[in-house]
Chain A
């Protein structure tokens, strides 16, 4: 079966610290992968998507970056976190228009 793993579930980081959130997918090959952020009152905003290894598209300019070192691994990073990076980050994958979401990471930047 196809599953998606995302960790950690919660994270509290100081301003200026680096960030690395990891997402891995099992049970499928060559999925499209996504990072979304859900900020309070703003719904789900697409940050990055990837259609293959090393292929990253950014939807909005920000303090974050993404990488896809392996087919089923998608990493969200930041060199220096800002307060405004706080939010709920969701990884997702899709094949043929069906989307599956991870359980999310609650990031609080303090």
Chain B
């Protein structure tokens, strides 16, 4: 079974600072990778996903993530955060073989101060 590790449980940044949230997974086969975001009081929303192809994936709201297969990593980045990026971010993975459920990391709470 796959597992996901998110390194930071809480991150505090000032507006305009750069963001990188770490995500590592463990699984021996091919995977699909996701980043979800949950803004306060709102649904879980898909930020971006990687299935195959270019390992640098661009998502909504200026976010991007890079899949580094050799490091089993899928870190989320944004060059300049805004106050409105305050939210909880979840990395998730499922195996790209047959039926597989989505496994989430424990999440990272990002607080951006104005």
Contact = CB atoms under 8 A, between A and B. Distances in A.
Most buried by B among A32, A46, A97: A97
A66 to B, nearest CB: 14
Interface in A31-76: 32, 34, 36, 41-46, 49, 51, 59
A99 B34 contact: yes
B103 A46 contact: yes
Contact of B105 (A43, A46, A97, A103): A43
Interface residues of B, number: 23
A77 interface: no
Interface residues of A, number: 21
A94 interface: yes
Interface stretch (B11-19, B79-87, B94-102): B94-102
Contacts of B56: none
A101 interface: yes
Contacts of A92: 102
Given A43-B90, A44-B90, A51 B102 contact: no
B32 interface: yes
Interface stretch (B43-51, B57-65, B69-77): B43-51
Contact of A43 (B32, B94, B101, B104): B104
A44 B101 contact: no
B106 interface: yes
B102 A46 contact: yes
A94 B44 contact: no
Interface of A: 32, 34, 36, 41-46, 49, 51, 59, 90, 92, 94, 97, 99, 101-104
19 contacts: A36-B104, A41-B9, A42-B106, A43-B6, A43-B105, A43-B107, A44-B92, A45-B104, A46-B103, A49-B101, A92-B102, A94-B102, A97-B51, A97-B96, A99-B46, A101-B43, A102-B43, A103-B43, A104-B44
